[in-house]
Amino acid sequence: MSYRTVKSYRDKQIEKKQKLYNSCLDILNLDYLMVTDKRSGLNVYAQNFTENEIDAALISGFLQAIHSFGIELIKVEDQSQIIKLEYKDSIVLMSEFVNVRLILIMKERPSRFFMYAIEELTYDIYKDYGTMIESFNGDVKKFQSIEALLKTHLNVSFIYPQKIAPIDKLEKMRISQNERLYINKAVSLMKTKNQDYFLIKSILPGKECNPKDVEILLKLNEKKIFMLV
């Protein structure tokens, strides 16, 4: 029984680390996200996570056309209803629930953890905004708070511009050697670029991140050493 308990704990720790690792890669691979009215195809919310311009109307119209030809949503692991398509060297994901259509454009295929998060996000968008989408009159301002749901489900804050807490605050805090390493990286980057902010992507290349790095960076956010601009 003792062995099984230890093994169960170890398995949970491994899964937790794997989830952290995948979360890092997934969010670094996310380029664009938009929410549309499933019936009309009109966009109610969109956010760009890359420096490249993406034509939201083109993507939305493209996916609307697919449905008009009768292509149905496919089951992913018998839980999520998501379409996965390759489009212009990107992976396009589309999740739907009642009148909500969530569209994401990524560089690579996401992990199963991310797929679960998309399913939950789609449901919560419907729960909080479904009625407003039903009576959508073109005013997208009331949908801006969808961003809070993105932070909850997808941890998008991880790729938002960040700043470092003031020096006088840092001097009063206990900071580990690993945390200080990333603080120094961020400071160096901001000096080099002559900016008062930095991106996690810039100090943590997507293909090289590991669970330990992600844990450190999330801890820096937790302690409000790294903060959103």
Q: Burial letters for 24-53: b for 16+ Cβ neighbours within 10 Å, e otherwise? A: bbbbbbbbbbbbbbbeebebbbbeebeeee
Q: Tens digit of pLDDT for each residue in 52-109?
A: 777 666 676 666 666 665 554 444 444 446 777 776 778 888 898 999 999 998 888 8
Q: Tens digit of pLDDT for each residue in 101-131?
A: 999 988 888 888 899 899 999 999 999 999 9
The reported pTM is 0.74
